[in-house]
Amino acid sequence: MVKNSPRLCIICKGHRLLCGLSKCPFLTSYVKRVSIASKIMDKVIDGSTPPNVVVGESGYPYTSIYLGLPPGVYGDEAKLFDDPYSWHLKLGLEDIIEIRSGMAMLILPRIYVKDFEKLYESEVGLAAVSLKPVDAEGVVSKVLKTDMEFDYILPPTGPRILARDVKVVGDLKIPRKLEEMVFEDVKALEAIEELYRYGVDFYTIVRALSIGFLGYRNRRRIVPTRWAITAVDSSIGKSLLDAIKLYPEASETLVFYSEYLYNKYLVILSPGPYKAMWIEAWHPKAIYNPSKDIQWLEVRETKPNIFTAMDGGFIAARTSVLEYLYTAKRQAKVAILREILPQYIYPVGSWQIRQTVKHALTKGPILKNPSEEELRIFIEKSMNIPREAIEKAIEFIYEKKQLKLDRFSIKFK
């Protein structure tokens, strides 16, 4: 293994390959422990896609499309195989891995990113944005991999199968607003904002962008799913911030907390113009941390949409916080602290970050208007993260600022 600073690993998270290796040694070692017991033996594979379509990054601009299909599972039963909303707070880490291991990923022929219309014509693209599971089938050419694969942004994926003659044979149900956007010649950002305003599901918007259904028609591209997730989070965030930065500042300091899948989240909102901080601390033995000490990183949004670094976890958490501020019609300084415990040995995707932060905010504040010392004590009792990281958050929240008259009359709803 190439020797690097342990902090480099938690920045990389097995994706950027900052160490110079061709594969992440930590992810590879964990993948080998989760082999799928039963291999696909039949020549024909059929079932209902939840829906699930993943666009890979390797070889871009020629990329592979993966159609998720749980063999022999049909109708509403198939939806659970790709449904973070149903998983959240109900399923444990092993439960999610077991479910995802039962969904085969059918590898379709490689496609050039500008040829998105081929996905529309084959109905694979339409199946990807269906509101309900869609029946599909294919002929198995070769089972390429039976081990699971894990990713910081995407949910775990099951066995990869080289397939031919893949067909969508079931009925489709497309969100009406999305169907309109497919035929509209508008900027992708505007399409995302419009779909979000009309209540189209976040993950449906991601799949629509990923398969090239959104944007100016002459500029549409198939987009790798990882990129699409961050792009949709960023676009929604920009739209919300355009409104939030015009709202009055809040005058209360509120603290929220939630935890799930061995991840703890603490959100602090305090008076001031909008800016944000993200602190992420990984315990030893948690994936991506090869050292014997807790490793942590800090990302700041110094001004709206201006970041010291891009981090998919921060962008996901930020979306939920911005939704809260938008609903409250207030702007505030935001500090989000995340602690990853040693038991979190398999990453399951950024959905758990987005949903757990949202859950913390939905529950309501666990602490109001704490003093610096009260907040410091609360963080120390709630989370086991380095003192330096805690002090960074305290300094960010309680920085000296000029008093404003309107601060004394404005409170969160």
Encode 358-368: b = buried (16+ Cβ within 10 Å), e = exposed.
bbbbeeebebe
Residue 100 within any structural domain of the chain: yes
Mean pLDDT of 129-144: 92
- pTM value? 0.88
Please give the Cα distance from 166 to 46 (Å, whole number). 9
Place of tokens 């005058």: 251
Residue 2 within any structural domain of the chain: no
Please give the Cα distance from 325 to 267 (Å, whole number). 12
Are 231 and 272 within one domain? no
Residues near 82 by Cβ (< 8 Å), separated by ≥ 6?
A: 50, 51, 52, 68, 103, 155, 203
Residue 363 within any structural domain of the chain: yes
Are 394 and 264 within one domain? yes
Are 237 and 258 within one domain? no
Are 258 and 403 within one domain? yes
Q: What CATH number is given to the structural domain containing 378?
A: 3.30.230
Residues near 330 by Cβ (< 8 Å), separated by ≥ 6?
A: 244, 247, 248, 249, 250, 410, 412, 413
Are 258 and 404 within one domain? yes
Are 313 and 393 within one domain? yes
Structural domain harbouring 139:
30-168
pLDDT: is 7 or 372 the higher one?
Answer: 372
Q: Can you list the positions of beta strands (E) in 221-261?
A: 254-260
Task: Say yes or no to pLDDT of 35 above 50.
Answer: no
Q: Which of 162, 118, 124 is nearest to 140 (CA)?
A: 162
The per-residue pLDDT for range 235-264, each reduced to its tens digit, is 999 999 999 999 999 999 999 999 999 999
Residues near 97 by Cβ (< 8 Å), separated by ≥ 6?
A: 34, 148, 156, 346, 348
Strands 111-112 and 62-63: antiparallel
Query: Could you check whether the bond before residue 71 is cis, i.e. omega within 30 degrees of 0?
Result: no
Residue 10 within any structural domain of the chain: no
* Torsion on CA atoms 250, 256, 260, 265, rounded to nearest 10: 70
Q: How many folded domains does the chain comprise?
A: 3
pLDDT at 403: 44
String of DSSP letters for 255-300: EEEEEETTEEEEEEEESSSSEEEEEEEE-TTSTT--SSS-EEEEEE
137 CB neighbour count, 10 Å cutoff: 17
Task: Say yes or no to pLDDT of 213 above 70.
Answer: yes
Q: Which of 141, 168, 195 is the last residue of a domain?
A: 168
Are 86 and 187 within one domain? no
Mean predicted lDDT score pLDDT of the chain: 89
The per-residue pLDDT for range 148-179, each reduced to its tens digit, is 777 778 888 888 889 889 999 999 999 999 99
Indicate the pLDDT class of residue 217, thresholds 50, 70 and 90: very high
Residue 378 within any structural domain of the chain: yes
Q: Which of 216, 244, 272 is the last residue of a domain?
A: 244
210 CB neighbour count, 10 Å cutoff: 29
pLDDT at 32: 41
Q: Is residue 101 helix, strand or coil?
A: helix
Residue 182 within any structural domain of the chain: yes
Please give the Cα distance from 68 to 106 (Å, whole number). 6
Q: Is residue 322 helix, strand or coil?
A: helix
13-27, 50-64, 336-350: the lowest-pLDDT one:
13-27
pLDDT at 144: 77
Q: Is residue 81 helix, strand or coil?
A: helix
Instruction: State CA 316 to chain mean position distance.
Output: 6
Are 142 and 87 within one domain? yes
CB-based burial of residue 29 (10 Å sphere; 0-12 exposed, 13-18 middle, 19+ buried)? Answer: exposed
* Percentage of the chain exceeding pLDDT 70: 87
Residue 228 within any structural domain of the chain: yes
Are 304 and 240 within one domain? no
Residue 14 within any structural domain of the chain: no
Task: Say yes or no to pLDDT of 26 above 60.
Answer: no
Are 227 and 337 within one domain? no
The per-residue pLDDT for range 358-368, each reduced to its tens digit, is 999 999 999 99
The per-residue pLDDT for range 350-409, each reduced to its tens digit, is 999 999 999 999 999 999 999 999 999 999 999 999 999 999 999 999 985 444 444 444
Q: Which of 149, 168, 187 is the last residue of a domain?
A: 168
Residues 323, 358 contacting (CB under 8 angstroms): yes
pLDDT: is 42 or 94 the higher one?
Answer: 94
Q: Which of 23, 22, 18, 16 is nearest to 3 (CA)?
A: 18
pLDDT: is 122 or 366 the higher one?
Answer: 366
Are 224 and 287 within one domain? no
String of DSSP letters for 155-222: PPB--EEEEEEEEE-S-----HHHHHHHH----HHHHHHHHHHTT--HHHHHHHHHTT-SS-GGG---
Are 92 and 34 within one domain? yes
